[in-house]
Amino acid sequence: MMSHIVEHLVSGLQNDLCMKKEESAARRKSEAQLYRLLAEMVETERKYVQDLEEACDYYLPLAGIVSHRQIQSLDRRQIKNKKRNLSQCSSVTTSCSSQESFTGLSLERGENISPAEVRCMVGNIEDIRDYHKKVMLPRMEKAAENAQLMRILFETEQSRLSRKYGRYCINSTRSSIIIDQNIKFFSLYQFNNGHKLRVDAMLIKPIQRLTRYHMFLSSLSKTCQDLGLLDDSTEFSLALSSILSAARHTNTMMWIGKMENCPLDLSGQGQLLKQGGVGNIFLGGSIRVRRKWSSQRSSSCQLLLFQKTLMLCKTNENLSEPNNPHLLYENHISLNQVRVRDVVADDENTFEVHKLEHLKAESTDDTKGGIVMRLKCESEDVKNEWVKAINSEVKHLRSTAKSITNQFWII
C-alpha cells in the first residue's frame, strides 16, 4: 500500500517537473521572439532609410535635383559627368538585342520625360527620407528596450506620419501612370546603372511601411501578453492604435488619388481635413421662388475639405471595392474665395458655398449668382459640422494671410 502511494507521489512530481520544464522552454521561446521582433523592427527601419536614400540618389538627378549624399560624395566635375551620363541615357540608344531604339522616356509620345514629371513621380520621398533618418530611426533605436517610449514615439508622430504618407499616397496613381508610360526608359536606366530593383519596386516601399509597423506592433503586443507583461502589451497596443489611425488616413488619400478628371494636383492641396458624403443639389435652370427652388435634382457626392481647397466629387459604384466608390471630379473652389450660407430656403440640412467676389453682385431673383455648390446633408448636425470646419479653415487662412501682409509692411 505504502509503495503505491510513493509511486503516485513520484509520478506526480515528475509530471509537475515536466510541465515546469515545458513552461520554462515556452517562456524562453517567447522571450527570444520578443527580442527578435524588437531587433528586427529597428533593423528594418535602418534598411528602409537606406532604401529611401538609394531611391533619392537614383531618381532625384532626373528631376534636376542632386541629393545631399551625392553632394558629400561627388565633386563638381563628377556631378557634371553624372548629369551628362543621365542626359545621354535619355537620348536615342541603339544596338539593343531586339534592334529597338529608345527615344527618351515615352516612345508613344516621342519626347523625353521632363524633370517636372520625374518630380511628380517621386512625390515627397525626399521629405520622407529626411524624416525617417533624422526623427523616426534615432527615436526608435532609443525606444527599442522600452515599450512606453515606443508608444510615445508613435503617438507623438501620428500626425506627421499621416500628413507625410498621406501626401505620398494621394500622388501614387499619378506616379504609376508616369512609370507605365515610360517603363522602357526606366528599364534601360536600371540596366545601365546596375540597379537591383525596378523604379516601381523602389517607390512602393513607403506605401508598404505603415503596414510593416502594424505587423511588428501587433506581434509585440501579443508576445508581451503571452509572457504576462501586461503593461508592456498595453503600451504596444496603444502604439498600434496610432499606426492604424495613420494607415486609415493614408488609405483614404490613396482612394482620393484615384479621382478621375481632376484638373488639380491633389498632392498640392494641403492636408485633408474632412471628407464625407453629401447630396449635391443641381444648380442649373432652377428658379428661386420665395426663397425656394422649383426644381432641386440632387446626386450623391463626396465633399473633400483640404487646407487650400474645397472639392466636390460625384460617386459611382465600385463593384471590386464597395466601400470605396469611384470618384469623378465635379467642382472645386479655393478656400480664400469661400463664403458659406448655412441656411437655405428654410432647409436646416442644406448649406451653400458662394464665391466671395460674387456676393455683392448676387441678384435676389437670379438663378445661380455666385453659388458654387448647394449641398444637402443627412442631418442638421452633419451640416453644422461641415459649416464649422469650412469656416474655421477659411478664418485660419485669412488670418495667416493678414499676418504675412503685416510682416511685409513692417519690413
3-class state of residue 32 by DSSP: helix
Q: Is the pLDDT of residue 1 over 90?
A: no
Q: Is the pLDDT of residue 104 over 80?
A: no
| pLDDT, position 59 | 95
Q: Is the pLDDT of residue 122 over 90?
A: yes
Mean pLDDT within 130-153: 96
**Alpha carbon of residue 77 to chain centroid:** 38
Q: Evaluate whether 312 touches 275 at the Cβ level (below 8 Å).
A: no
| pLDDT, position 64 | 85
Mean pLDDT within 397-410: 74
Mean pLDDT within 58-70: 78
Q: Evaluate whether 308 touches 270 at the Cβ level (below 8 Å).
A: yes
**Cell for 99?**
534592334
**Cell for 372?**
458654387
The residue to which cell 482612394 is assigned: 255
| pLDDT, position 407 | 67
Mean pLDDT within 43-70: 88
Mean pLDDT within 66-72: 56
pTM of the model: 0.79
Which of 73-87, 118-132, 169-183, 395-409 is the least confident region? 73-87
Mean pLDDT within 1-9: 57
Q: Evaluate whether 225 touches 233 at the Cβ level (below 8 Å).
A: yes
Average per-residue pLDDT for the chain: 82
Q: Which residues, 6 or more positions from 147, have their beta carbon under 8 angstroms from its beta carbon?
A: 220, 224, 229, 231, 232, 235, 236
The model's confidence at residue 102, banded by pLDDT at 50, 70 and 90, is: very low
Which of 67-71, 219-223, 268-272 is the least confident region? 67-71
Q: Evaluate whether 398 touches 380 at the Cβ level (below 8 Å).
A: no
